[in-house]
Structure 1
Amino acid sequence: MAQENSGAPAVLSDKEFQLFRSLIYKQAGISLGDAKKPLVAGRLSKRLRQLEIGSYSEYFRRVQGNAQEMQHAIDLLTTNETYFFREPKHFDFLRDQVLPGAVGRSPFRVWSAACSSGEEPYTIAMVLAESLGLQRPWEIVASDLSTRVLKEAAGGLYPLADCDGIPRPLLHKHCLRGIGAHEGSVLINPALRERIGFRQINLNNALPNLGIFDVIFLRNVMIYFDIETKQQVVRRLLPMLKPGGHFMISHSENLNGITDALKPVRPSIYRKPDA
């Protein structure tokens, strides 16, 4: 049997796929359609080989009995693409419409609620630094479910090739070019990194007390939720958005049927009415 396990790679059966689909929905609120079966198999297969486990069922049992392995599986199944200045109209709106009204108010607080590997909160930090400067108090909370991407984000180190989206003046001003062993990499300036607090937060559970925010970014994550989960997540976040604050989602998303508590300002940009 051991030789059998070490031979041909394990095949994810429909029953095993259903086990992991139920698991990721319960843990992360992510709804995986049938078409995601190859993705689940691909992302978990390497882990099976690393642990010398012969079947997905056996790995599922390992995950169920080991909190650390559960987190590892969640990391593998929830990692999503992101990049600097993604959907730039949101940052234009922040700079041109929101921040001018923030002059004289402090501190200005932003929550990047699905920050992945950090490109979004660092983009926000560059915009805030340019508009508000580094003398005024402002801060960003950046959260994600995945501990692995949060570790990457907190390091603030990126391949230079991944920084194409950063306008060149901001790249020179807010990033440090790596030398020696880090040649070909870029490090986000510590003056920006210290303004960001990275935290692991599961949006599908009761939220910790993070205070009140002027702006909340919840982008490119609700596309993975069913309607009920979307409603629950937005309902949890709304009390943390101050009256008059802005809520930004991805251009591919909308809040129709999810909440009436936010009013559309522009496509994918909403505002909480003043108290």
Structure 2
Amino acid sequence: MVAQAFTEAYRHDPAAMTDAEMDWFRRFIYEHAGISLAPHKRHLVTGRLKRRLLHHGLSSYRDYQRLVEHPSEAQERQIIVDLLTTNETYFYREPAHFQLLRDEVLPRYRGRRFRAWSAACSTGEEVYTLAMVLADVLGMGDWEILGSDISETVLAKARAGHYPMERARGLPPELLRQYCLKGVRSQAGTLLIDPRLRQRVRFQAINLKRPLPQLGKFDLVLLRNVLIYFDLPTKREVVQRVTETLEPGGHLITSHVESLHKVTDSLSMLRPSVFRRLQGSP
């Protein structure tokens, strides 16, 4: 009777996920995005995917897996990637990095071309923060920014450049005034990135676990708050690919909680989370 009661409860509760089903989703997201999802993240997985079961009228995650495995369901597979890789971000995150750029990196590029890549940009706040800093230090000179993410959903939001005002809680007031348009009436409580900046950036879907498209060389790559989701072999692969896009002497910046210890020997650490590509490195 107890077993029967459990079975009935499971059949009518799509939030229930077996160990085998959790293992399937862990393998799926590792194979598609390189993310090592810990077993204890089951609540996160069920919380984000439960609506997909309801959307398709399915009663179990095993049924959902069967649907996702069908060759015609590429769009549904992308939806899973979007749901399991989207993370909260905000403007001027880790301010010390932007101060470093102001004080030590960008002044060297006055009068020179400067290219930057935000390699896991999510909904674009990092890209536009960098654009504000570049405009402040270099003016509207010869610079450009690429923002990339594995999720087309977040990139659509990034291209729009329209955000809740609360996302800008850490943005210096002078940057908010100069580069953001405050919403009024029906748009009150939101901000729109100034068109002058939106015209200077572009966004592209890129899976860092796969071979990179032809991107050219960059003077700066921001690879922040993404390596923490990879195991060591995937970190090495991703950092190698990204480092190869850097100009010799170019900078790679990770988040303060990430380390490149035993990951690469092609970069020298200037300070924790800030690295420079060695001259003549492969």
Shift of 1:61: 1.8
Partner of 1:27: 32
Contact 1:5 1:53 in 2 (8 A): no
The answer to whether residue 86 in structure 2 is matched with residue 79 in structure 1 is yes
How many angstroms apart in 2 are the aligned matches of 1:52 and 1:4? 17
Unaligned 5+ segments in structure 1 are none
Q: Which amino acid aligns with 2:49?
A: L
Partner of 1:221: 226
Partner of 1:235: 240
Once the two structures are superposed, the pairs formed by residues 101-250 of structure 1 within 5 Å of their partners are: 101-106=108-113, 108-134=114-140, 136-250=141-255
Partner of 2:22: 17
Partner of 2:3: none
1:219-248 Cα offsets, whole Å, 9 max, x none, are 000000000000000111111100010000
Q: Which amino acid aligns with 2:199?
A: E
Partner of 2:47: 42
1:133-190 Cα offsets, whole Å, 9 max, x none, are 11x1110000000111111111100111221111111101000011232121100001
Contact 1:220 1:250 in 2 (8 A): yes
The answer to whether residue 267 in structure 2 is matched with residue 268 in structure 1 is no
Shift of 1:83: 1.1
1:39-75 Cα offsets, whole Å, 9 max, x none, are 1111101221122111111111222221000000111
Contact 1:177 1:183 in 2 (8 A): yes
How many angstroms apart in 2 are the aligned matches of 1:103 and 1:177? 30
Identity across the alignment (%): 51
Contact 1:142 1:197 in 2 (8 A): yes
How many angstroms apart in 2 are the aligned matches of 1:62 and 1:146? 21
Shift of 1:104: 2.1
Contact 1:158 1:186 in 2 (8 A): yes
Q: Which amino acid aligns with 2:110?
A: V
Contact 1:10 1:54 in 2 (8 A): no
Partner of 1:251: 256
How many angstroms apart in 1 are the aligned matches of 2:169 and 2:15? 39
How many angstroms apart in 1 are the aligned matches of 2:54 and 2:164? 28
1:65-100 Cα offsets, whole Å, 9 max, x none, are 210000001111111121111111111111111111
User: SS in structure 1 opposite 2:247?
Assistant: strand
How many angstroms apart in 2 are the aligned matches of 1:122 and 1:57? 41
In structure 2, relative to structure 1, the CA distance for the partners of 1:195 and 1:132 (3 Å cut) is same
User: SS in structure 2 opposite 1:202?
Assistant: coil
How many angstroms apart in 1 are the aligned matches of 2:87 and 2:15? 24
Contact 1:214 1:242 in 2 (8 A): yes
Select the residue among 97, 100, 113 that pairs with 1:93.
Answer: 100
In structure 2, relative to structure 1, the CA distance for the partners of 1:113 and 1:270 (3 Å cut) is same
User: SS in structure 2 opposite 1:91?
Assistant: helix
Q: How many aligned residue pairs are there?
A: 271
